[in-house]
Structure 1
Amino acid sequence: MSIRWNRTFSDLIRRSRPAYWGNWALNAQIRPGAVGIVDAETGDFRLVREQLPNVELLHTATSSSWQLMSERVSRTEASVDVSAEATDPDSGIKGEAGLEVSWSMANSNSIASEFSLRQESFLRDLTVVERSVDWLAEQAQSVGFGGNGQIAQGFGVVTNVIFANSGLNVGSQSSDASFSIAGRASAVQEMLGGASGKGSFSSIRKARDVDRHLWPDQANTRPVEPVPIAYSFASFDGRLLMPNWIGKLGGFQIFFNNRPGSTYITRILLTYNTPSGPRREQFEISGGLSRTIGNIPLDATDLNLDVTFVGMINSDRYRRHWARPLGQWLTGQRHIEMSGVWPGATHFSVLEE
């Protein structure tokens, strides 16, 4: 079974950037405003139209480095002699101290990703996507992702892109895989985290059982333009805009857990609005029990949760409000943890927040 590198890469990115997809193979077609399809299973992007009409972009410069590694991936640096192979791309002069950077991966399907970041580029106004729903529906229908003015989830628009000057993605195809690059010390350091945009390498010293994508992709050259490494994506459910789409959703779910050992009964009141009218659910959960509310529609708004720990004299109350879960609940779920032993303190938390 082949490894779904972009899916694995995206999952790693979402530990710190929950709304993003990765661009493992450094697909240059991923640009803000690009219209296409994201496969929820593999994470791969397929371009349908180069640009959404009437798009205006903003760009924010960033000079920070990007470094992501899976568990049991080790990174080392060592001085090496590259006098015979390293050439300055500008002057053509050989020399300078050499540096070799190596990654060792104990497990298969592990990832090392390092880049020198350049900028973030994004749509000036996300409402342009919603205003273009008719045009987008036509494009979706042409590739089998819609019909009758409706758009299927997975078809949409790239809204934000992180660009890098240079760097690399490396993944282990088996246990004990390894990879290393070498070059002039300053050029390799710039390639993996500098801000000048002048990073390069002179050679690949070791490549055992790895899938790799480098920028620049040739030795002793400098990248001509920045490369996209991660992006956010807006899709639709019918004609309902899903501004940060990271996977297919059929509806929202809330999981309530009144933890074992809790002696409080919790009284739950959930209300929200839908285009067809307001909804309301109310129930109680004893200690050690749980309950799930599912099938909350994707177009629900102004969702209010009121949790009361019922006491003999006084009761503790906790409240949460979500104006538009579709833009806030990326996975479509919230897990509510509750506990307390009377007459002591009560505890309430939303695990995703």
Structure 2
Amino acid sequence: MTISRNRIYTDLLRGTYRTIWGNWGLNPAIKPGAVGIIDADSGDFKLVAECLPGVEISKNQQSRKWDFKSTGVTCRSINTSVAGLIFDPNTGAEVKPDATLEWSFDKENSITSEFAISGEHTVSNLAILNDQYDWLLAQARNLNMATGAGISEGFGVVTSVIYASSGLNAVSKKSKASFTVSGSASGLNRLLGEDGINGKGKASYVFSSNSSEVETHTLPAKSGEVATEPLPVAYTFASFAGSRVLIPSWVGKIGVLNLLVDSKASSFTTYSTKVTLSYQTPTGPVEESRTVIGGSSTSFGEIPLTATEMTLTAEFISIGSNIRKSLRWNTPASEWLGGTRTVNLTGTWPGAPQMAEVKR
């Protein structure tokens, strides 16, 4: 099966930004407030409506470099070999290129993503998604993205977008691939965000090579041009849990919730612990209890996304009075990234045991 470039790109970005989706092809339709569908397998976004009614956008201008590379991708400056004079949009004159950068890729499907970031635009009133739920549900039903329970996962709203003023995405089509970009040193520096986005010079490049080995998406789109508008390189997305439960940072299909209770985080955990999980559902309350022996773990799976008012209580068995601790989540589908959560139990008798939520 061919792996989507956007899926590879998103996975690379999530090593740093856990809630983000990549925009590999620099799709300009991805804007804060845009309504659409994300294919969780490919990471591709399909626009349904340009903007959610009533949405408000806040804009944060920035000036920073964006630089992500797969393992085995390198970039170096090499001797310029472009002959003759070429029009340089950075200066408006014909110039002899004085700088060339070469990227090398060890493996097929390796990625580099380098941009000059111009800012981040964000939906400032996320409550509008709940206020406009009926409108969103109607759009979802028209596209078979809803059931009797409500909106299906993957249909929702772009909540924030990172914009770039210039730069490039590149992926190798084969192992040991390479490509070069030539131009003026100042133009290339601004293209890749080395000098930020401010100043008199403009981001540009005047020549690139080896397009047969590497797929690229550049800003500006063509050699000899200057970008006129920033484009989105990445974004965050909100969806719903098959009902009115909002998932503000949707990162992929959840289906059900899973909770792991682990006493193996520390080799010195000696307490045996009775753990009880209780929550409300549309069909009534649910309660389950398990016993966790020191150095072991247990899990609560197949928890419905509609679970609310959830409480996990740990009763550490001790001589005399047992020690009780608890954690609570009002809407875990909204709070647990990816629909999973881990709780660690630690402590050596007769010392005080601890119960800690692991947010990762």
So what's the TM-score if we normalise by structure 2?
Answer: 0.87
Which ranges in structure 1 are unaligned for 5 or more consecutive residues?
Answer: none
Equivalent AA in structure 2 for residue 191 of structure 1: L
Instruction: Summarize the Cα distance change of 1:272–1:84 in structure 2 as closer, same or farther, 3 Å threshold.
Output: farther
Corresponding residue of 1:144: 144
Question: 2:271–2:347: 8 Å Cα contact kept in structure 1?
Answer: yes
Gaps of 5+ in 2: none
CA shift, 1:139, in A, is 1.4
CA distance in 2, matches of 1:149, 1:251: 14
- Please tell me the root mean square deviation across aligned C-alpha atoms, in Å: 2.7
When residues 191 and 137 of structure 1 are mapped into structure 2, their CA distance, relative to the original with a 3 A threshold, is: same
1:326 alignment partner, one of 320, 325, 333: 333
1:106–1:311 distance in 2 versus 1, CA, 3 Å: farther
1:334 maps to amino acid: R
1:231 pairs, out of 232, 235, 243, with 235
Please give the TM-score of this superposition, normalised by the length of structure 1. 0.89
CA contact (8 A) 1:177 1:208 kept: no
Q: Aligned partners of 1:98, 1:345: CA distance in 2, in Å?
A: 67
Q: CA deviation at 1:299?
A: 3.0
Distance 1:341 1:41, change over 3 A: same
Instruction: Give the CA deviation at 1:293.
Output: 0.3
What is the DSSP-based 3-state SS (H/G/I as helix, E as strand, rest coil) of the residue aligned with 1:43?
coil
CA distance in 1, matches of 2:313, 2:147: 40
C-alpha displacement at 1:61, in angstroms? 0.6
Counterpart for residue 222 of structure 1? 226
Q: How does 1:57-96 map to 2 (within 5 A)?
A: 57-78=57-78, 80=80, 84-89=84-89, 91-95=91-95
Equivalent residue runs for 1:1-353 within 5 Å: 1-78=1-78, 80=80, 84-89=84-89, 91-95=91-95, 98-146=98-146, 150-193=150-193, 194-196=196-198, 198-207=202-211, 209-236=213-240, 237-259=242-264, 262-275=269-282, 278-312=285-319, 319-339=326-346, 342=349, 349-353=356-360
Identity of aligned pairs, percent?
Answer: 38
- Contact kept? 2:86, 2:97, Cα under 8 Å: no
Partner SS state of residue 80, structure 1 = coil
SS in 2 for 1:220: coil
| Gap change, CA 1:86 and 1:307, over 3 Å in 2 | farther
| Superimposed CA distance per residue, residues 99-126 of structure 1 (whole angstroms, 9 cap, x where no aligned partner) | 2222222122221111100111121211
CA contact (8 A) 2:66 2:116 kept: yes
Q: Deviations over 1:116-153 (max 9, x none)?
A: 00111121211222111222222112222125683221
Aligned equivalents of 1:21 and 1:9: distance in 2?
8
Change in 2 beyond 3 A, CA 1:287/1:77: same
Offset of 1:318 from its aligned partner?
A: 5.4
